[in-house]
Structure 1
Amino acid sequence: MTKHFLLFITLICGLFSAQQNAYYQQFAKYKMDIDVDAANYTFQGKQSIDYTNNSPDELNVVYFNLYWNAFKPGSMMDQRVQFQGKTGDSRLNVNGISRLASIPKDQEGAQNIHWIKQNGKLLKFEIQETIMKVYLDQPMKSNSSTKFTMEWDANIPMQIRRSGRNNREGIDMTVTQWYPKIAEYDYDGWAAFDYVGREFHAPFADFDVNIKIDKNYVIGAGGTLENPSDVKGYTDSPSIKADKNDKVNWHWTAKNMLDFAWAADRDYSVESFSVLNGPKVYLVYQKSEKTKAWSELKPYITKYYQLMNAAFGDYVYPSYAFIQGGDGGMEYGMCTMVLGEAKSVESLCGLMFHEGSHSWFQQMMATNEPMYPWMDEGFTSYAEDYVMYQIFPPKEAKPNPFINSLHAYEKFTKSGLEEPAVWLGDHHDNGTAYTYSTYVKGETFLVELGYIMGEENLQKTMKEYYNQWHQKHPTDRDFIHIAQKVSGMDLKWFHHYWINTTKTIDYGIKNVQYDMTSTTITLANNSQVPMPIDFNVLLKDKTIVNYQIPLNLTRTFKTKDINGDFKSLAIWQWTQREYTFTIPYTKDQLAVLGIDFSQRLADVNQADNIVEVK
């Protein structure tokens, strides 16, 4: 064997190894010192960031997000709200008129960068509204680290969306997406998305945050409070030591999270309890008649974490805070900001369980939300319905926990407004279309997978997804890869139809022919999305007989499901518009014939799915 041949083999092996280990993720360590002027809703900020480039690429620039620069007249967010009008987010407009257009100058959002340095050397930077592009003094080589230091000041905006001051529930400050936040860099490049109202993305990071604020304030945050005895609200007898300006320092830390968020109010109460094999939970809210439901939450939240850990993988962080923040609900690292006022415990739990489930499908399996919002909001909605169905069983029997979403999807497809889920989150032209493509189509994506490959395989897929990808940045391709490995099926076709198109499922019973010893049934595919079909027969003696018609596209076929045993019929080719089969039952034996008694198939026309035999 020649040296040249050995060298060739070594190079080939090296390339193969590089391809096999192509995944990487960046990492940052933030240290912040924040001095809050509560009376004027401003603060001065200093921070250092130890940033590690784990990519194979040399970086000559870095990008930061400056989200609060969106909250002012004429911003891109304002322009987008005006374009969408009444079809956009109702929290951003009144009767189709942008609320951003009328923010007083002193209540605009602002993040003003004084300077930024790399290893002590001043850097050139340019502000592109909510994006800051920074030109490095020294390129960052692969597998190297650098230190950024910077100073800035900020103006906390009027609360219109997520962050802000003096919201309608009377919370003084909701401080989220509030610091110059380094953007994520991965195989697709910098995630330098302008902020016009939708989702966020970031590298995992450690946080060490000092917040100096008036001594009468209580802070709720997503992290570990390192000095609870020095501040108001967290111990029975705090030893508050204010400085000459009557301010106290709150010291928070957090490990391996996407962000750090906090809120401050003079009337917050703090309650806490620990979940067995789960996090310590904090409830931070203003006690009043309108928030009395908060006092009843402990057993429901405890059960929530037990169900989530069992179904989707263990919550890895030490605590979680539910904080009355004033604008709907919005998830952050180890906390969520939610509306405090609630009509019932159940409605409050529904909100909290949705936002809390983002800890799995935004924080731990940290997909690029601006690119794949359906993987976050949709999977989170699935988890919400899954746990709510068990914690608050419906008063009237439902065929499955997701039936309301399936019915809503079926109704919306008739509106003509549907947009593909593959679209970038901020680039949907219609706010309702965004909701359905992201929340509803993302949720029903999992419902349909359970129908195609069986619920047991779906459950295994969700756990394996967690095992392989928690505290990483997965894509839809990674999820489908796991689903295919677990089920043995080809599922790429379904992913394509459901996410990349607005094509629909519509199967129906076209004809039933009764004979002396049997019944022959003809089904029709009346739309564009092919599916395997579960066909069920209810006999007059109340026995249910289950059949499965495999679809050739999956190559491997379902062997069991929630309906119990079933009989497999001949394959239905996806190009074939009709399918005929015979069952060994006569008319006087039959009560009901139907497509999918479980009602998981997202069929947009249910009227022709059932035949009552009379």
Structure 2
Amino acid sequence: MRKITTLLMLLLLHWASWAQIKNQQPKFDKLFDFRATPYRSASGFPGPEYWQNRADYRIEAELLTDKHRLEGTVTIDYTNNSPDELPFVWLQLDQNKFKADSRGTATMPVDGGRHVGSITNGYELKSVKVNGKEAKYIVSDTRMRIDLEAPLKPKGGKTTITIAYAFDIPEYGADRMGRKQFKHGWVYEIAQWYPRMCVYDDISGWNVNPYLGAGEFYLEYGDFDYKITAPTGVVVIGSGELQNPKDVYSAEELAAWEKAKNSDKTVSIISAKEVEKKIKMLERARSGKVTWHYVMKNARDVAFGASQAFIVDAARINLPSGKQALAISCYPEESIEGWKRSTEYTKAAIEHYSKMWYEYPYPTAVNVAGIVAGMEYPGVSFCKWSDKGDELWGVTDHEFGHNWFPMIVGNNERLYPWMDEGFNTFINHYSTLAFNNGEYKEADYLQYANRYAAYIFLSPNREPIATYPDIVQDNNLGITAYFKPGYGLFLLREVILGPERFDRAFRSYINAWAFKHPTPLDFFNTIENVAGEDLDWFWRGWFYETWALDQAVRQVKYVENDPAKGAIVNIENKGELLMPVIMEVKEQNGKVHRLQFPVEIWMKGNSKELRLPTTSRITSITLDPDKLMMDVNYANNVWNP
């Protein structure tokens, strides 16, 4: 009886402290109830029977500069590698976003914005054929369903779709494409310029989310063989490798190209003076057409720039394997001041990412100056014509970084922009610090994280990273898709896992999912398995909630009241977000300790006593001394006696 009474008394004595402890298990629970399939393993890697469909494109198009119009025919060789019969197929018709009655037009702000586009008639479909026969189809906004005569067989069934089409090129194409007039002519940045296959995958079947503007793209991989016919004098430079250089360049220009292929310094291909000379010649005898023929292997898309105003320069890109690629810049005379370093920037970005993460797989990297402020395609970037200095470095580095996410690692941008924009923001941090011994390091905004902490974590309008791009509020997209996920990877590398474990896990993710279609869960599982760490507490708090971090020092006392025997510090996690604890302790005897405690210290509650190995009086304790973790109240991170 006495033992039971004693136990009850102890329980009552501790009741008050227990009442203050909130059960922490929900924060550490598994985020998803994942069930491995033959297609996707619990390790985060593709499963033994992983599949994805394939689309190979042959395109012949003509750029009608007098009408600002493109007319063409696309032939798609589509392979069904899925285990399912497909009685129909879905395609994307992205130019329909610019129609006056489109869903994209309806959802755009009435006062304009980045993703509002000029109004056009969208795609004009002249014929749609399957295996040479006229096909039945329906068009619904930016999607088209083609019904097949017989279901496409699983595991290797093939069909050929041929579509003749045309569209008027919007002057402003939602900052994805468009055209702008300069002194020597129009500069065209052409993308979303042919009907493209929707992705059929093992997660959702057909991915048919409409193109509204903020959400970008999700595409199948394949080979591209495309020809662009344009008026004589118009230079066309796009994704992939030019197949007929002797047909489109002069002997002097071809010699310059050969020089550029062997030069680490920028080589002029077409100078401003040569543009002037060419324009005068064309004014005297304007006639004829030239066809530019490009091939791009194992890509998800292609795009190109075109103009008679293009100044062109180039330089060699050196890749880790010993292979080489070519950095190319195309820009009008008005851009010379800033863009004379564009090729240097392009080369540096590609070389850095190739060395640090995964080798660049494409033959060229083309930077085009025009109306688009910043948009990426495989091997091609569209950047604003007026950018210069750190602005041009920043946008060039960012857009070419997208060749890794989502061009190599092909996530679904319509749903998970943080898997490309955020990952790219993260790798941009290290490339910017590395470029030219840190020339533009002050432009790297990840280092200014604490400026944004109050808005990100305390604003009543905040939204989680997992919010879909077309749903997130316009002024939050930069946070949810770019900054916060990018900084989350920075915390994983620099605070939670350390560079060695993180880098190996991140490279494993890229290698495992190169030219494939990962989901968020594939990413989470890959990082956890390779790094050897259960991180559900972090994925939940950082990516799926809007929780804030607020660590605080509550109290310090000495063991047996003797500073020589060490100290006990009581710390508190006042916010909902969990993070490890980094502590700097300074002693009266001059010693300084850097201590790190794992996130598991918060498993039993939101306060914790920690023993410190000090031998004299403590003069100060600081939590997160380098201010890496975006604590919303750094005032309570510091204790002074």
- What is the TM-score when the length of structure 1 is the normalising length? 0.84
Q: Return the alpha-carbon distance in structure 2 between the equivalents of residues 406 and 235 of structure 1.
A: 53
Cα deviation for residue 574 of structure 1 reads 2.8
Q: For residue 386 of structure 1, what is the aligned residue in structure 2? A: 430
Q: For residue 604 of structure 1, what is the aligned residue in structure 2? A: 632
Q: 1:508 to 1:435 in 2, by over 3 A?
A: same
Q: For residue 174 of structure 1, what is the aligned residue in structure 2? A: 189
Alpha carbons 2:312, 2:331 under 8 Å: kept: yes
Cα deviation for residue 591 of structure 1 reads 4.5
Q: 1:64 to 1:233 in 2, by over 3 A?
A: farther
Q: For residue 286 of structure 1, what is the aligned residue in structure 2? A: 332
Q: Return the alpha-carbon distance in structure 2 between the equivalents of residues 402 and 244 of structure 1.
A: 51
Q: 1:593 to 1:327 in 2, by over 3 A?
A: same
Q: Which amino acid aligns with 2:289?
A: K
Cα deviation for residue 538 of structure 1 reads 3.7
Q: Return the alpha-carbon distance in structure 2 between the equivalents of residues 544 and 408 of structure 1.
A: 30
Q: For residue 383 of structure 2, what is the aligned residue in structure 1? A: 338
Cα deviation for residue 472 of structure 1 reads 1.4
Alpha carbons 1:109, 1:157 under 8 Å: kept: no
Q: Return the alpha-carbon distance in structure 2 between the equivalents of residues 463 and 431 of structure 1.
A: 32
**1:45-93 Cα deviation digits (max 9, x unpaired):** 11211111111111111111111111133322222113xx56xx73346
Q: For residue 563 of structure 1, what is the aligned residue in structure 2? A: none
Q: Return the alpha-carbon distance in structure 1 between the equivalents of residues 182 and 551 of structure 2.
A: 48
Instruction: For residue 342 of structure 1, give the secondary structure of its aligned residue in structure 2.
Output: coil
Instruction: For residue 422 of structure 1, give the secondary structure of its aligned residue in structure 2.
Output: coil
Instruction: For residue 452 of structure 2, give the secondary structure of its aligned residue in structure 1.
Output: helix
Cα deviation for residue 520 of structure 1 reads 2.5
Q: Which amino acid aligns with 1:163?
A: M
Q: For residue 12 of structure 2, what is the aligned residue in structure 1? A: none
1:134 has 2:161 as partner: no
Alpha carbons 2:586, 2:620 under 8 Å: kept: yes
**1:234-282 Cα deviation digits (max 9, x unpaired):** 95269x9x99961111111101111110121110011111122252111
Q: Return the alpha-carbon distance in structure 2 between the equivalents of residues 279 and 546 of structure 1.
A: 45
Q: For residue 522 of structure 1, what is the aligned residue in structure 2? A: 570
Q: Which amino acid aligns with 1:125?
A: Y
Cα deviation for residue 158 of structure 1 reads 2.1
Give the stretch that moved more between structures: 178-187 or 471-480. 471-480
Q: 1:498 aligns with which of 530, 542, 545?
A: 542
Cα deviation for residue 433 of structure 1 reads 1.4
Give the stretch that moved more between structures: 249-258 or 41-50. 41-50
Q: For residue 192 of structure 1, what is the aligned residue in structure 2? A: 208
Q: 2:158 aligns with which of 107, 128, 145?
A: 145
1:595 has 2:623 as partner: yes
Q: Return the alpha-carbon distance in structure 2 between the equivalents of residues 449 and 237 of structure 1.
A: 48
Give the stretch that moved more between structures: 224-233 or 368-377. 224-233
What 5-or-longer segments of structure 1 have no aligned partner?
1-14, 94-98, 553-571
Cα deviation for residue 489 of structure 1 reads 1.1
Q: Return the alpha-carbon distance in structure 2 between the equivalents of residues 359 and 237 of structure 1.
A: 27
Q: Which amino acid aligns with 2:196?
A: K
Q: Return the alpha-carbon distance in structure 1 between the equivalents of residues 99 and 40 of structure 2.
A: 46
Q: Which amino acid aligns with 1:481?
A: N
1:45 has 2:72 as partner: yes
Q: Return the alpha-carbon distance in structure 1 between the equivalents of residues 221 and 586 of structure 2.
A: 53
Q: Which amino acid aligns with 2:318?
A: L
Q: 1:129 to 1:602 in 2, by over 3 A?
A: same
Q: For residue 121 of structure 1, what is the aligned residue in structure 2? A: 133
Q: For residue 122 of structure 2, what is the aligned residue in structure 1? A: 110
Q: Which amino acid aligns with 2:555?
A: N
Q: 1:605 to 1:167 in 2, by over 3 A?
A: farther
Alpha carbons 2:189, 2:368 under 8 Å: kept: no
| Larger CA Rg, structure 1 vs 2 | 2
Cα deviation for residue 326 of structure 1 reads 1.7
Give the stretch that moved more between structures: 314-323 or 372-381. 314-323
Q: Return the alpha-carbon distance in structure 2 between the equivalents of residues 581 and 297 of structure 1.
A: 53
Q: Which amino acid aligns with 1:164?
A: G
Q: Return the alpha-carbon distance in structure 2 between the equivalents of residues 266 and 540 of structure 1.
A: 72
Q: For residue 270 of structure 1, what is the aligned residue in structure 2? A: 312
Alpha carbons 1:418, 1:436 under 8 Å: kept: no
Q: Return the alpha-carbon distance in structure 2 between the equivalents of residues 414 and 545 of structure 1.
A: 32
* Correspondences of 1:540-551 after superposition (within 5 Å): 543-551=591-599
Instruction: For residue 383 of structure 1, give the secondary structure of its aligned residue in structure 2.
Output: helix
Q: Return the alpha-carbon distance in structure 1 between the equivalents of residues 552 and 592 of structure 2.
A: 20
Give the stretch that moved more between structures: 224-233 or 443-452. 224-233
RMSD, aligned CA: 2.8
**1:310-331 Cα deviation digits (max 9, x unpaired):** 2211111121111113211000
1:583 has 2:591 as partner: no
1:201 has 2:218 as partner: yes
**1:306-352 Cα deviation digits (max 9, x unpaired):** 321222111111211111132110000111111122242x2211110
Q: Return the alpha-carbon distance in structure 2 between the equivalents of residues 234 and 22 of structure 1.
A: 51
* Correspondences of 1:156-555 after superposition (within 5 Å): 156-161=169-174, 162-166=176-180, 171-187=186-202, 188-198=204-214, 199-232=216-249, 236=253, 246-277=288-319, 278-288=324-334, 290-344=335-389, 346-391=390-435, 402-428=446-472, 430-450=473-493, 451-513=495-557, 515-517=561-563, 518-539=566-587, 543-552=591-600
Q: Return the alpha-carbon distance in structure 2 between the equivalents of residues 18 and 470 of structure 1.
A: 14
Alpha carbons 1:70, 1:109 under 8 Å: kept: no
Alpha carbons 1:167, 1:327 under 8 Å: kept: no
Cα deviation for residue 40 of structure 1 reads 0.5
Cα deviation for residue 232 of structure 1 reads 4.8
Q: For residue 31 of structure 2, what is the aligned residue in structure 1? A: none
Q: For residue 268 of structure 2, what is the aligned residue in structure 1? A: none
Instruction: For residue 521 of structure 1, give the secondary structure of its aligned residue in structure 2.
Output: strand
* Correspondences of 1:51-66 after superposition (within 5 Å): 51-66=78-93
Q: Which amino acid aligns with 1:258?
A: R
Q: Return the alpha-carbon distance in structure 2 between the equivalents of residues 253 and 298 of structure 1.
A: 22
Cα deviation for residue 539 of structure 1 reads 4.3
Q: Which amino acid aligns with 1:71?
A: F
**1:438-471 Cα deviation digits (max 9, x unpaired):** 1112102212222222222111112111221112
Cα deviation for residue 418 of structure 1 reads 1.4
Instruction: For residue 363 of structure 1, give the secondary structure of its aligned residue in structure 2.
Output: helix
Alpha carbons 2:51, 2:82 under 8 Å: kept: yes
Q: Which amino acid aligns with 1:548?
A: Q
Q: Return the alpha-carbon distance in structure 1 between the equivalents of residues 445 and 234 of structure 2.
A: 42
Alpha carbons 1:111, 1:154 under 8 Å: kept: yes
Q: Return the alpha-carbon distance in structure 1 between the equivalents of residues 571 and 121 of structure 2.
A: 59
Alpha carbons 1:233, 1:269 under 8 Å: kept: no
- What is the TM-score when the length of structure 2 is the normalising length? 0.81
**Paired positions, count:** 558
Instruction: For residue 576 of structure 2, give the secondary structure of its aligned residue in structure 1.
Output: coil
Q: Percent identity among equivalent residues?
A: 27
Q: Which amino acid aligns with 1:500?
A: Y
Q: Return the alpha-carbon distance in structure 1 between the equivalents of residues 464 and 480 of structure 2.
A: 6
Cα deviation for residue 17 of structure 1 reads 9.4
Q: Return the alpha-carbon distance in structure 1 between the equivalents of residues 590 and 151 of structure 2.
A: 73
Cα deviation for residue 298 of structure 1 reads 4.6
